[in-house]
Amino acid sequence: MDMNVNIQDSTKVIAEDFVSLCKAGKADEAGDRYWADDVLSIEPTGSMPPARGKEALRKKGEWWEGAHEIHRMDIDGPYVNGNQFIVRFTIDVTEKQSGTRMKMDETGLYTLKDGKIAEERFFYSRG
């Protein structure tokens, strides 16, 4: 059990730093610091194919930020269990191309391996 407690404590430290950076609008720095080189990013079926690797995720983030105007982002969490944590993102955003303003409400499940994010998996609400 001691080892498991240590793993969870270490998850908490990383999760809180990760979320602090995201709350400060530094999601790119959060990724740079904690994504594993071969990190896997998984969106719900039918939205986007999985992306693999730090460089691919950086580009995905840049594309998303370029395609949207963010009016407000609220972040709840992190929520921790073992080597995993969950973060909730509520985003008031306008899709630039269509001009559609919407409230996005989603959660990310992050899985750590050796102190780095090996996988991020996003879950959508119908809103």
Question: Which residues contribute to the site for a copy of itself (CB under 8 A)?
Answer: 1, 4-5, 7-8, 12, 16, 42-46, 76-82, 84-86, 88, 105-107, 109, 121-126
- Cβ(105)–Cβ(90) under 8 Å? yes
Query: CB 125 → a copy of itself: shortest distance, Å?
Result: 5
Taking the alpha carbons of 21, 117, 73, 17 in that order, is the dihedral positive or negative?
A: negative
Of residues 18 and 85, the one with the C-beta less far from a copy of itself: 85
Query: CB 34 → a copy of itself: shortest distance, Å?
Result: 17
Query: CB 106 → a copy of itself: shortest distance, Å?
Result: 6
Of residues 28 and 84, the one with the C-beta less far from a copy of itself: 84
Of residues 99 and 126, the one with the C-beta less far from a copy of itself: 126
**Given the DSSP bridges, would you call strands 35-42 and 84-95 parallel, antiparallel or unpaired?**
unpaired
Determine the Cα angle at 59 with ends 57 and 63, to 5°.
115
Collapsing DSSP to helix, strand or coil, 46 comes out as: coil
Of residues 47 and 97, the one with the C-beta less far from a copy of itself: 47
Query: CB 99 → a copy of itself: shortest distance, Å?
Result: 26
Q: Residue 73 contacts by C-beta under 8 Å, 6 or more apart in sequence? A: 89, 90, 91, 92
